Structure formats: C-alpha cells, structure tokens
Amino acid sequence: MISRPAWLWGAEMGANEHGVCIANEAINTREPAAEIEALLGMDLVRLGLERGETAKEALDVIVSLLEEHGQGGNYYEDANSCHSFQSAYLIVDRDEAWVLETVGKYWAAEKVTEGVRCICNRLSLTTKMDAEHPELRSYAQSQGWWTGEGEFNFSEVFSPVEDHLDCGAGKDSLEKQEESITVQTMMNTLRDKASGVCIDSESFLTTASGVSVLPQNRSSPCIHYFTGTPDPSRSIFKPFIFVDDVKLVPKTQSPCFGDDDPARKEPRFQEKPDRRHELYKAHEWARAIIESDQEQGRKLRSTMLELEKQGLEAMEEILTSSEPLDPAEVGDLFYDCVDTEIKFFK
C-alpha cells in the first residue's frame, strides 16, 4: 500500500478514468532497440491505459503485448535517421505502484511500497524483482552477460558496459521533501532547469508536463494537471478530472490529416507536418513576448502563475470537501482553463 497520495511524473505519461497512471521513459541498455516497426513505449502507455483498470492489470497488458509484438521503431518523425529505444515505466493507481523496465521482449518489475521512485534513461532495478519474464535469466546467460552464479542484478546485467549517466536530480530533490510533497512541489521540480529535470535546448526540450494526484480515499476524485505546452517553466498546469460527458477541448488537439498523415503512408515519416494545436501556437507567442520584452514578459508570467494558483486552490477545496463531487461542475474544467489561458495570451 502507498501510505500517502501517489505523485507521478515521467517523460511520456497519461491517465485513465480508473485512476491508473503510466509514465514512460526511454532507457539505455546493452542491447540496442530494434529499428523495425513494432510497439513504441508510448504505444504501450496508451494500450495499458486503455485496457487496465488497476496498475497491475496495466502492467500485465504491457508485458503481454511485448511478448506478442515486441518493441521498436522510430520515436521521431525523422526519415533521415532512426531513434529507437528500450523503455521503462512507472505504473500507479490509488493503491499500489510498479516500476517496469524492459529489454526487447524481456522485462523485470518491482512493486514499490514506500519512498520516492523515479525513472530516467538508465536502469534502476537491481536484485529486488517482484515479477519478471520467465526466460529473463536464461536469455542473459545465452548472451554471456550473466554466468548464472550469484545473485541476479538486473541493472548490472543489462546496463551498457560504460554507463555513466546521472539522472538522480529529481529523485534527490523529492527525497529531501518527502514528508511534505504537495502538487506545487511536483510542479516546481518539473520546472527545475538547474538540475536538468526541465530541458530546453536546441536539440531537445521538455514538450509537455503532467502531475497526477491519486487519493486513497475513494470518495475523492483523482486530479490530473496537464500543461499541454512545452517547457513547464513557461506553462500553466491545468486541472482535469474524469467524469461522464467531459467536454472535449479542440484547442489542445493536433490537426487531423487523415490518410495523408505521414504516419499512415508507407514508407512512413517521409515528411513532417505542422501538428501544433491552437494552445501550442498561443504559447509560442507568449514565449516570444517573455524572451523579447522583460517587463511585459514578467507581467504575463505573473498572470499565468496566478491563474494556475486559482486552479490549485479550487482543486484543494474539492479534495478536502466532505460533499460528493458533482460531475456537472467539473465537466468543463479543463476546457475552461485552456480557453482562459489563450485569452490571457491574446
């Protein structure tokens, strides 16, 4: 059991109406990821959320699909080169949390019962594995990576020989605040550029961010905060709650290209279309203002953070209220927040 509300963040992440959240991260292993088309890590995130009503069910979905279809393919719309990765996952619901790390179709998982856990670009599982692929150890032996003697250490066996990546900044920051972590704590951590958690460079950037609150009290709703725009240091976290008849938000939906989408044509990804949605474009305008006009940029950022603060306060009232949630009151929640944000930008 998780002794407090679960807080989740990762490279790619999502949530479903059952309170299951999955975060995915590309990882480096000593076995290169397949470049042939198969299931990407984000494909498995979506399928796990579509089919899993608990964290364990979602984990079982992912590993069964790995067994049947494997993983691989290009993560970027880039016909000139292939960027393929193995994947790690954080899979959480109101009651339990799992870390799942994969190498091809092989995998290991640990059930998390306490403390802070993060995933990054390096393997983290060692000798504590609560579930694993039935042929994991024999495969490692067949590759000459494990002798079959002594304790089996997943990370030591499958990590690259020279693995010097350091990705503990987010974990270290949260461990120092473990007894007092709030939604704001998570948002501040995601905005931390000095530690490298938030990346904004010419070659790579944090494209969107999310924080999920999963109360163990079943009478309280799960609340998910999404930016929908890049670089959380310049974005607003907006609350979303799953209810029936939730209002769709076209302003955060990328354009549909139908059969002309480069993802549908073969060979795939020979061209890169403009997939920016309306909120994304408005955010880019705001970014230009912030970078070019210090005073106006300061005022705009202050306004954005005030809007975010109002949303946080409203959600805290919902979480602490003894009254049952009225779905009609939150069906338009994310829609209204996006609409208000765009008006501020304009």
pTM as predicted: 0.90
Q: Which of 100, 16, 117, 104 is nearest to 56 (CA)?
A: 100
Which two three-digit tokens encode residue 144? 């000459």
Give the three-class secondary structure for 6: strand
State how far the alpha carbon of 260 is from the alpha carbons of 56, 83, 255, 269, 272, in Å: 38, 23, 12, 11, 11
Indicate the DSSP class of residue 34.
B
C-alpha to C-alpha distance for 238 and 60, rounded to whole angstroms: 31
Task: Say what the pLDDT of residue 165 is.
Answer: 53
Residue 131's CB: how many other CB atoms inside 10 A? 15
Which two three-digit tokens encode residue 225? 């905060």
Which two three-digit tokens encode residue 284? 């880019």
Cβ contacts of 183 within 8 Å, gap of 6 or more: 7, 211, 213, 225, 237, 312, 315
Task: Say what the pLDDT of residue 203 is.
Answer: 66
List, edge to edge, every strand of the sheet that includes 97-103. 12-15, 21-27, 86-92, 97-103, 106-112, 131-132
Consecutive sets of 10 residues in the chain, 346 residues long: mean pLDDT of each? Answer: 44 89 91 86 95 98 96 77 84 95 97 84 93 98 95 95 59 65 88 80 76 92 93 91 95 93 83 91 87 85 91 95 92 96 85
Radius of gyration of the chain (CA): 21
Q: Is 122:167 a contact under the CB 8 Å cutoff?
A: yes
C-alpha to C-alpha distance for 107 and 91, rounded to whole angstroms: 14
Q: Which of 142, 144, 337 is nearest to 251 (CA)?
A: 337
C-alpha to C-alpha distance for 204 and 220, rounded to whole angstroms: 37
C-alpha to C-alpha distance for 73 and 83, rounded to whole angstroms: 8
Task: Say what the pLDDT of residue 287 is.
Answer: 84
Task: Say what the pLDDT of residue 3 is.
Answer: 36
Residue spans per domain, the chain: 1-165, 168-345
Task: Say what the pLDDT of residue 176 is.
Answer: 67
Cβ contacts of 277 within 8 Å, gap of 6 or more: 228, 251, 252, 253, 254, 255
C-alpha to C-alpha distance for 48 and 15, rounded to whole angstroms: 10
pLDDT digits (tens, 9 = 90+) for 47-59: 999 999 999 999 9
The DSSP string of 165-222 is ----HHHHHHHHTGGG--HHHHHHHHT-TTTTSS-B-SS-B----EEEEE-SSTTSPP
